[in-house]
Amino acid sequence: MLTFDNRFVRELPGDTQHGNVPRQVFGACWSPVTPTPVAAPTLLAHSREVAAALDLDDEAMATPQLLAALAGNALLPGMVAYATCYGGHQFGQWAGQLGDGRAIMLGEAINRDGQRFELQLKGAGPTPYARRADGRAVLRSSLREFLCSEAMHHLGVPTTRALSLVGTGETVVRDMFYDGHPVAEPGAVVCRVAPSFTRFGHFELLAARGERELLHRLVDFTIARDFPGLAARALAPEQRLRAWFTEVCERTARLMAHWLRVGFVHGVMNTDNMSVVGLTIDYGPYGWVDNFDPGWTPNTTDASSRRYCFARQPAIARWNLERLANALAPLLPTPDDLGSGIERYDALYSDEFCTAFAGKLGFLGWTHDDGELLDDLFELMRLAETDMTSFFRQLAQLDINRPDPDVVHHAFYRAELRDRYSPELSRWLARYAARLRQDGQPAAQRVAAMNQVNPRFVLRNYLAQEAIDRAEQGDTGMLHELLEVLRHPYDEQPGRDAFSAKRPDWARHKAGCSMLSCSS
């Protein structure tokens, strides 16, 4: 059914102690674990595209053997269950050992084309890194992760994927807002899929502990397995390390530009949630910007400092890359040998951001004056409480010879603010139309190009919450419909207007729709 080649456990040292007992793990990159079986696993949903990439058809997905594996009740031939060891900086502070507390790897599957995919269960029970937690996950957070993984992929954003969402038939007790009101919620397990789940924190922990030889081994392994093009180049070890770090910086820069392009806020950009292969990883209290606010964060834990708010994400990514550089520094002759990688991040992020927003605005290219035009738009959108996704999608329909504010009439949350800022919007649209006329691009060509980068459909938090509410009552219909809609985010999809509607008033302050916690 699946073919495995488990290089991580074969080529890197593992924990000599067995069992899922919480402990500090030294001199190892992984620990053997045993998933905790669940009472009544049910396949609630799966991604056809991810299944196909793993050479699994609908018949395979329906087998009891695969369901048991995706629930953590059994292992298929070739699977190896383990959890990996890493640390991280959380909200700017070193947190020491963290590790896969409730994520259990099932091994590395190789498809018919030779592509490698790590399979990982989230919510399949505790591991040595679970600390005092139970290793389980609730349906609420699992459904959000499943949907968002696939939504981001179809938006063109680099991301881990999700093969399946399995209900466990059991409940999990969670205090959603850490306010002393725990509730028993339905449990679930997500099977996450990615070429690599290696994080910045894997390298940070080894460096913090002074395990230099193992740090070197992990770097060499990561380059050989996950960066084969770089591994094939004839470079001295130190040159290869610098080239690898630069590529990590480049992938991260592109990822940040994508996040801002689609209005995505991760919510918990700790270094243990940063992928070295440049993927969006760990979907917790994430959200899409509704009314445009550069300082918005969906994470209640971050509400006061807004460290991980929408506009700060590129700067936080840079800070995280600096932490990775510090971890790798012991492997190089001088500590500042990786500074060029950070400089490359700065330059490439700037280029990628300009390219992304030139596309969103329908420009053929980015000019020096476009920055002021965009800054003025952002400030106007913030003041007027403008829906980011709706505004950019509707902007494509502007008649540049007779710019009319009515083209974005439905993008505003409050009619009084729309009316108050209507004169400013008219002036901005006149400047914008003049800029478009300079390009001389045919209207149909411009509209088509803009609609390819400005989605009509994103996974708004209120939609995810509606799907959760129904799924908790046993109705997965909206989950499946959302999954189908999000497969084609740039298409018009007539008849599905409800899935592109901006956040309704009832969801402005509703739990799960505006702010979320890390409790899952």
Reported in sequence order, the residue ranges of 260-332 that DSSP labels E, i.e. its strands, are 264-265, 287-288
Q: Single out the catalytic residue among 15, 100, 272, 302.
A: 272
Distance in angstroms (rounded) separating the CA atoms of residues 7 and 446: 47
Amino acid symbol at 260: L
Place of tokens 């060029």: 340
DSSP string covering 173-188? EE-TTSSS--EEEEEE
CA torsion 347-349-351-353 (nearest 10°) is -150
Helices (H), 108-191: 139-155
Adjacency order of strands within the sheet including 116-122: 30-32, 82-84, 103-110, 116-122, 183-194, 161-174, 42-46
Cβ 14 vs Cβ 89: under 8 Å: no
Helix (H) or strand (E) run with residue 83 in it: strand 82-84
For 461, counting Cβ atoms within 10 Å of its Cβ (0-12 exposed, 13-18 middle, 19+ buried), the class is buried
SS3 string of 375-416? HHHHHHHHHCCEEHHHHHHHHCCCCCCCCCHHHHHHHECCHH
- Three-state DSSP class for residue 59: helix
Q: Burial-class residue 234 by CB neighbours within 10 Å (0-12, 13-18, 19+).
A: exposed
Known catalytic residue: 272? yes
* Whole-angstrom distance, CA of residue 486 vs CA of residue 144: 13
CA dist 186 → 36, 41, 142, 197, 396 (Å): 16, 12, 10, 27, 43
Which residues are identified as catalytic? 272
